[in-house]
Amino acid sequence: MEAHDKMQGVRDTIEEFTHKVAANAQTELDTARLRGHLAEMEAKDFWESKGKGIATDFNQSSEKVKELSYEAASEVKDYFEKLVEKLTKMV
């Protein structure tokens, strides 16, 4: 009988512990879901407010890089043309 009472006490303690752990786990899961949802909303708000500007800046940067590339290629071409001209005069 005494062993049965002790087992019941242990069972009650384990059950109480399990309920507390489950409640805490559920709270943490709910918190994680809420944080994920808030992060998603912030990302959408950020994209709505800044997205067009970012896209415009990127396109402008892309055009600037293209222009600089053409200028550099033109300078390299001019350099080699002058070099070839000098070499042909030497021959």
Mean pLDDT of the chain: 88
- pLDDT tens sequence across 38-48: 999 999 999 89
- Please report which confidence band the pLDDT of residue 55 belongs to, taking 50, 70 and 90 as the band edges: confident
Q: Is residue 12 over pLDDT 70?
A: yes
Which single residue is written with the structure tokens 């005494």? Answer: 2
Question: What distance in Å separates the CA atoms of residue 42 and residue 17, rounded to the nearest whole number?
Answer: 37
Asked whether residue 37 carries a pLDDT value surpassing 90, the answer given is yes
Q: What is the pLDDT of residue 77?
A: 93
Q: Which residues of 53-75 are buried (b: 16+ CB within 10 A; e: fewer)?
A: eeeeeeeeeeeeeeeeeeeeeee
pTM above the 0.75 mark? no
CA distances for 38 relative to 24, 42, 46, 51, 80, angstroms = 21, 6, 12, 19, 59
